[in-house]
Structure 1
Amino acid sequence: MAKYITKRLLYMVFVFFILSILMFGIYKMVPGDPARLLLEGSRQGMKPEVYEMQYQQARKTLGLDKPIPVQYGVWITNMLKGDFGYSSTYRKDVIDVVSEPLKNTIQLNIVAIIVVFAITIPLGIICAVKKRSAFDNTIQVFSVVGYSLPEFIIALVLICLLAVKVSAFPVSGVSTPGFDGTAFQKMLDELWHMALPTLVMVLGSVGSITRYVRAAMIESLSMDYIRTARAKGVRERVVIYSHAFRNALLPIVTIVTGWVVSVFSGSVIIENIFLWPGIGKVLFDGLMQQDFMVVLAMQMFYVIIALLGNLIMDIAYCMVDPRVKLD
């Protein structure tokens, strides 16, 4: 396995550099001048020659005075050293812009992932065991509805019901402004603000993951070795969880790993609806303001998440199924 992981890491490095070249080239083709955006608001009442001098200085500060291949070389070299460039919108280094939003996004997504797994895996197993029962049919109806509705529709409905009608949860923010309390109280306050966006992400994902778990379990429960185990008098709980679920993990791992990667990308919508100060909102604002250094840093983060997700998925195959060999 060590040899395979080494090969995959080299492959990931190759893909990372190819995608970085493509993304850098795409953003350079987008109309707009970050140097002029940096000076926006300061031109009024300024002499043309002074503005031109400051404009050229801004281009030099942002590295726009160099040829595009040189700009890419400087950008990728600095990024590998931990320097992601300078934000023309926030007037500070990109690392300072994204550090706090990145923490907020990771917190939100980890909580959503834990809740989704805690609901979907047991629910999918129960639906498979009770296939075509009233419980299974009810869950299938709700899962289709949740799977079909876009997340922004779910968000608007929940905001109306739980924030406007009932006032049970706040609509935006990470914590209550000016909140002063113990560390535990602050954590509870953050979880209270996180509840509504997390609920939207969970409702938008529970349906699809539950259906995948149910389908994998139904296929596994129909195998001959399950009938053999039952004929030998093995307890039903052991048959379901030790035999059927273990063999159903292979397709579940594929779906779940891909879903985890997509959750980080999909949180862009949720963060903008709930004004959650995460990297999704930073990415959206960066695109609107043509702050390409911030956008490129965020896009490369998503690339790394996707590449690591695929590697983890392949390693998980070996862990859940000893028959899979990684060469």
Structure 2
Amino acid sequence: MRALTQVASCVVLLAVAFIEPAYGETVSNLSDGRSGQILFPSVTPSGPTQFLAGDAPASVISGTLAFPNEGGGTASERLPAMVISHGSGGILPDRELAWAERLRKLGVATFVVDSFGPRGIASTGADQSRLPLAASVADALHALGLLATHPRIDPTRIGIIGFSKGGQVALYSALEPFRRAVMAEGDIRFALHVALYASCSIPYMAEPVSTAPIVFLLGGADDYTPSAHCTRYVDWLRARGGDVRLTVLEGAHHGFDLPNPPRFLPRVQSARGCGMDIRLNPVEARLWADGRILQSDEIDAYLRGCMQRGGTFGGKPEALAQAIREVEAAVNRLSRR
């Protein structure tokens, strides 16, 4: 359904020419124990309908796999791992790569997935239609299946952490219909979901919900992805058996884990004025205000009215310190499983 495809990106979907990488070997199995940059198959669905139908076009994306104390340990040692899903600005040295280093110090292998570069995208901050969110969710779940084949990784202890748009990926990979669209067979699933300052203004909703721990880390002063919208989503998840921990960091803005001080960015696209659920069984758009299901010809007009520009981005050292403590606690529980 075309209109619901647009909702999945939170804006009117534009035609995009996806560019596949023309270098390196694409692998779907890591039984050879490799690490470093890895090209692996995924798909680029136009939205949740195509994703769930299983007829999305094939893509090749990349990820960088690294182990703690690279070169140390034994071949028989099985470690926990975390998939890292980047935000709308792509992979940032001071965020995705900094968190990967922190996680490796905890004894966790890290796989930083790049959903943008292999598709010829630099950023989606000013135009989220450049890559549907469903594509990033597909990438994360394909990454999960790939890591599960690595001889040094414990397939039952693979988690995911994401930031902003990547935070949404961390959340929606806990929805069983999405997982089953990639893992048609077997019981491989994420054992931990950590979402930093995710947008919950147009959330995906589907049952069943994973029973793995879900950790929300939100900024109390976030004017780009308001924490209040995520408290609503937390209630929905908990009502369906979700094991959810919610922490709202007082005075923290969007990107509270970044080193630069907060500043207002006028061009970024925000769904903070929206309030619409995307139900996946079947796919439909339902307004929060009155529960009305929007028809295809109504969705565009609603999005044009609710989407806004501008948001404050920047770090808060105290919030970062607390977020590090929360993530360490969650990862330590994963490691002890």
User: TM class by shorter-chain length?
Assistant: under 0.3
RCO greater where, 1 or 2, for CA within 8 Å and sep 6 or more? 1
Q: TM-score, normalised by structure 1?
A: 0.23
Return the index of the structure with the highest Cα Rg: 1
